[in-house]
Amino acid sequence: MAAHLYLQLVILTGLFPYIEGLPFSVRIVNGASNSSGRVEVFHAGEWGTVCDDRWERYEAVVVCRMLGYNYSTGQPIYQTTRYGSVTGPVWMRGVDCNGTEDSLADCSFDGWGQVELNCNYPATLFCYNVTGTDIHIRLSGDYRPHVGRVEVYYSGYWGTVCVDNYWDYRDAVVTCRMFGYSTGQQATHYYSKKDPVWMTGVNCNGTEDSLADCSFDGWGHGGYCSGYPAGVFCYNVTEQDIDIRLSGGTGPHVGRVEVYYCGYWGSVCGDNHWDMRDASVTCRMIGYSASRHMYYTTRYGSLTDPVWMTGVDCNGTEDSLADCSFDGWGKVGHCSIYPASVFCYNVTANSTIEVRLVDGAYNHTGRVEVYYSGYWGAVCSQKYNFDDKDAAVVCRMLHYSNGRALSRVSNVPNEPIWMENVRCNGTETSLADCPFDGWGNVGYCSYQPYVTCFNVAGNYRSL
């Protein structure tokens, strides 16, 4: 009777004290097998959650040992709801083990049910027994046999390799040689993560026969790993000519730069080195006399594997991109999602310069575009605001007596972008007579001028 009244008191007060005589145990739930999943503990007659703050390797080792696995095995899985969200009472938070405890209840923690702040993620882990099996490797997640997510077979399970600051082309070379290829590069495609994560901090020098011979943090001993597993693109080096093309554009003169090397079309990284000199060499290779490079755009597609060239740095006189300075074929350091992109054209002698207003509510108002060398293109107002003097010149070209600059339009213009930093004094007869940075010599642009034209008499002219 007394015990019954005590339990009633517990429910009424909302406290969760340790009740002597009731067992404490752990279990793993919602995993694909009984070796991985979300950790739950049985306390005070009810299963509940363990919060994953401070959840690290030693805590996972203690839980796995409670479940009958080898003494020092167990891998935490950080900040995930792959195996379900926080459910039921949160029994334990701030768990801090040294790894030698027989039970999670013997570790330091904040107290039963003492959860003052929200718990965003439940504690999650992977348990295993160390076996004497050989190390195997495979690629998965891609339809091509030479491309994919790197997976390693260890202690009876296939697991992933973590991409961190160490994973680079040297690690990819070692991986690809294990498959019989002569070389390889790290993949830019982000494959889905798969537990367990067997290797983190892999740091090969490129001469090893196996990933297991490289320096790394130890089997299953990795700390926090981002959501991206290591991927590679493997290939054999062959002697052949270098070819080039533009992809993803509206025609052969515009798009993402791709290079053909060793039997595969691949990307060129559009990093900080990529500029008008590199674009000039590219466009001459495909038969154009002039070019415009583009900054940080995926308008013509994202970076795709393989990435053949990074750090391209031409002086502008080369006959081929392959003659320019770059980091080496397939030697990819960090490259963002942005591929190198260009707009190629032929300069037309004595080309007529025209202007027009587009995207306006009326034909006397809109965004300024210029016709040059056969193409309509944008005017950029990134560095300096396009002012009333510039607008007056545009409007006189359209046969109005005057004009006024309105607010800048904030969007990335379509290619080409012909003019930037236009600085008219207001008396010029053409926008081409005003000082500006040169045809197509435009860096990153996200603002365009918007003007309205009028006649002094107050009557708008219909075009």
The dihedral over CA atoms of 326, 327, 329, 332, expressed in degrees to the nearest 10, equals: -130
Q: What is the pLDDT along the chain (463 residues), one digit of tens a residue?
A: 444 333 332 333 333 333 444 578 999 999 888 889 999 999 999 999 999 988 888 999 999 999 999 877 888 888 888 899 998 899 999 999 999 999 999 999 999 988 767 888 999 999 999 887 678 999 998 889 999 999 999 998 999 998 877 788 999 999 999 999 999 998 877 677 788 899 999 999 999 999 999 999 888 876 667 668 899 999 999 877 789 999 999 999 999 999 999 999 999 998 877 899 999 999 999 999 999 888 888 889 988 889 999 999 999 999 999 999 999 998 887 777 789 999 999 988 777 899 999 999 899 999 999 999 999 999 998 767 789 999 999 999 999 999 999 877 777 778 899 999 999 999 999 999 999 999 988 878 888 999 999 998 654 444 4
The Cα 234–Cα 175 span in angstroms is 8
DSSP state string for 8-60: HHHHHHT-----TTS--EEEEESSSSTTEEEEEEEETTEEEEEB-TT--HHHH
- What count of other Cβ atoms lies within 10 Å of the Cβ of residue 39? 27
Residue 118 is predicted with a pLDDT of 84
Minimal CA–CA distance to 444: which of 369, 385, 383, 387?
Answer: 383
Alpha-helix runs per DSSP H in 166-306:
169-178, 276-285
pLDDT on residue 2: 40
Separation of CA 93 from chain center: 33
Token pair for 384: 């300096």
Residue with tokens 């009028």: 454
Residue 81 forms beta bridges with which residues? Answer: none
Sequence-distant (6+) residues with CB within 8 A of 360 are 366, 367, 450, 452
Say if CB 435 and CB 447 are below 8 A apart.
no
Q: Determine the pLDDT at residue 163.
A: 85
In the prediction, which pLDDT does 22 show?
A: 55
The residues with which 153 forms a beta bridge, in sequence order, are 136, 158
Tokens coding 26 = 């752990």
Pseudo-torsion of CA 356, 359, 363, 365, nearest 10°?
-90
Tell me 243's DSSP state. E
Cβ burial 127-157 (10 Å sphere, 16+ → b, else e):
bbeeeeeeeebebebbeeebbbbbbbebbeb
Q: DSSP string of 393-453?
A: HHHHHTT-SEEEE-PPEESPPPSPEEEES----S--SSGGGS--S-TT---S--EE-EEEE
pTM of this structure? 0.76
Pairing of strands 417-420, 375-380: parallel
Type of residue at 261? Y
Dihedral sign for Cα 327, 331, 333, 335, please: positive
Show the domains of the chain with their CATH numbers. Answer: 25-127 (3.10.250.10), 135-235 (3.10.250.10), 243-345 (3.10.250.10), 354-454 (3.10.250.10)
Rounded (5°) CA angle 305-175-241: 45
**In 236-332, beta strands by DSSP E:** 243-247, 254-261, 264-268, 290-294, 307-309
Q: Is 393 exposed, middle or buried (0-12, 13-18, 19+ CB in 10 A)?
A: buried
- Environment class of 96 (CB within 10 Å of its CB; exposed 0-12, middle 13-18, buried 19+): middle
> What is the reported pLDDT for 222?
66
Q: List all residues 6 or more positions away from 59 whose beta carbon is below 8 Å from its beta carbon.
A: 76, 95, 96, 97, 104, 107, 123
Q: How far apart are CA 356 and CA 3, in angstroms?
A: 88
Report the chain's terminal Cα–Cα distance, integer Å: 96
Report d(CA 370, CA 223) in Å as an integer. Answer: 55
What is the three-state SS of 93-160? CCCECCCCCCCHHHCECCCCCCCCCCCCCECEEECCCCCCCCCEEEEECCCCCCEEEEEEEECCEEEE
